[in-house]
Amino acid sequence: MAFTIGAYLLWGVLPLYFVVLAPMGPWEVVAWRVLLSFVFCLVLLTLTRGWSSLWAIMRRPALLGWSALAGVLIYVNWQAFVIGTLSDRVIETSLGYFINPIFTVLLGVVVLRERITRLQTVAIGIATIAVVVIIAAYGDFPWIAVTLTLSFGLYGLVKKRVGAAVDAVSGLTLESFWLIPIAVVMLIVVGQTTGITFGGVSPLHTALVAGAGIATAVPLLLFAAGTRRIDLSLVGMFQFITPVLQFLVGWALLGEPMPLERWIGFVLVWLAIVVFIVDLLLQRRRGRRQQPAPPA
């Protein structure tokens, strides 16, 4: 639970990191994210002596296939997120992550046959109504939000499928490795069109871009470590942390507009979060009551 919550807290404030990378465009940002994340993972493998685990995974074709699928899904998620962040649509990215817990919980129930409580069902219903209100307030199809929802929800399902067979560092290393050709092509295209900005703005800007690999890898590693230890439905509940923080960043810090209809939708979402928290507290209390007495 601590791993998962930590990942969502970091993702919640991540838009601020990418905003300060301007004038770098979203395609170049994601390309460097891929390459620098791969380098960071190689360093982690060396420090943690995890190369043997990586070689063992690479001898299993099925796991390689799952890691490639996870890589594609997380690339789509990264690209949509950065495009939204750098085009003044941080609140829409928060909408995507508000919808995603609903999608994640439904995946857990439908695909993994996980059980949810009545209060969780009520919370999902409230959140669904909220999402409908928010989408109606936008007036057009929120493709960034929907892309973030589908890509990250399916990414979580893939990570849950592989479970303990792939540790967090090895998994992210392989996912980044599969994306290297895409990143290289993106940098070539950017270089031939708008031009590469990495290393050409200021020393501070170069250092911030270089740190994008760490900023990308750390929450993903925490997410992978948490997802394979707790139920997918619980992962979906905690994910409300990220959109709340992203909403505050977009509205309070970046000054994005919030009309009345959008406020109504977000208030409904927060009500759903309260119901989830109440349900968690009730389950915890029941668990304590059902624990057997320690032996004399």
| 295 located within any domain | no
**Cα–Cα distance for residue pair 178/68, rounded to 1 Å:** 6
Instruction: Please tell me the predicted confidence (pLDDT) of residue 31.
Output: 94
| 115 located within any domain | yes
Tell me which residue range forms the domain holding 95: 2-289
End-to-end Cα spacing for the chain: 31
| 161 located within any domain | yes
Instruction: Please tell me the predicted confidence (pLDDT) of residue 136.
Output: 77
Burial class, 274, CB count within 10 angstroms (exposed 0-12 / middle 13-18 / buried 19+)? exposed
Instruction: Report, in angstroms and rounded to the nearest whole number, the Rg of the chain calculated over CA atoms.
Output: 20
Token pair in block for residue 257: 């507009």
| 36 located within any domain | yes
Task: Determine contact, residues 201/42, Cβ cutoff 8 Å.
Answer: no
| 280 located within any domain | yes
Instruction: Please tell me the predicted confidence (pLDDT) of residue 291.
Output: 60
What confidence tens digit (pLDDT) does each residue in 60-90 have?
A: 998 999 999 999 999 999 999 999 999 888 9
Instruction: Please tell me the predicted confidence (pLDDT) of residue 236.
Output: 65
Token pair in block for residue 82: 């950065």
User: Which residues are CB-neighbours of 259 under 8 A, at least 6 positions away?
Assistant: 137
What confidence tens digit (pLDDT) does each residue in 220-265 have?
A: 888 878 877 887 667 767 777 888 888 888 888 888 888 887 788 8
| 137 located within any domain | yes
Which of 11-15, 112-116, 145-149 has the lowest average pLDDT?
Answer: 112-116
Instruction: Please tell me the predicted confidence (pLDDT) of residue 76.
Output: 95
What confidence tens digit (pLDDT) does each residue in 1-40 have?
A: 889 899 989 989 888 998 888 889 999 999 998 999 899 8
Structurally, the chain folds into a number of domains equal to 1
**Is the pLDDT score of 146 beyond 60?**
yes
Token pair in block for residue 62: 């099925």
| 294 located within any domain | no
**Is the pLDDT score of 294 beyond 60?**
no
**Cα–Cα distance for residue pair 212/220, rounded to 1 Å:** 13
**Cα–Cα distance for residue pair 171/224, rounded to 1 Å:** 8
**Cα–Cα distance for residue pair 229/3, rounded to 1 Å:** 10
CA distances from 190 to 25, 171, 240, 272 (A): 9, 28, 34, 42
Token pair in block for residue 130: 């909220």
What confidence tens digit (pLDDT) does each residue in 266-293 have?
A: 788 788 878 877 887 787 677 666 665 5
Handedness of CA 240, 225, 2, 41 (dihedral sign): negative
Which of 106-120, 143-157, 229-243 has the lowest average pLDDT?
Answer: 229-243
- Per residue, the 3-state secondary structure of the chain, as one string, reads CHHHHHHHHHHHHHHHHHHCCCCCCHHHHHHHHHHHHHHHHHHHHHHCCCHHHHHHHHCCHHHHHHHHHHHHHHHHHHHHHHHHHHCCCHHHHHHHHHHHHHHHHHHHHHCCCCCCCHHHHHHHHHHHHHHHHHHHHHCCCCHHHHHHHHHHHHHHHHHHHHHHHCCHHHHHHHHHHHHHHHHHHHHHHHHHCCCCCCCCCCHHHHHHHHCHHHHHHHHHHHHHHHHCCCCHHHHHHHCCHHHHHHHHHHHHHCCCCCCHHHHHHHHHHHHHHHHHHHHHHHHHHHHHHHCCCCCC
CA distances from 182 to 33, 165, 174, 188, 221 (A): 12, 26, 14, 10, 21
| 296 located within any domain | no
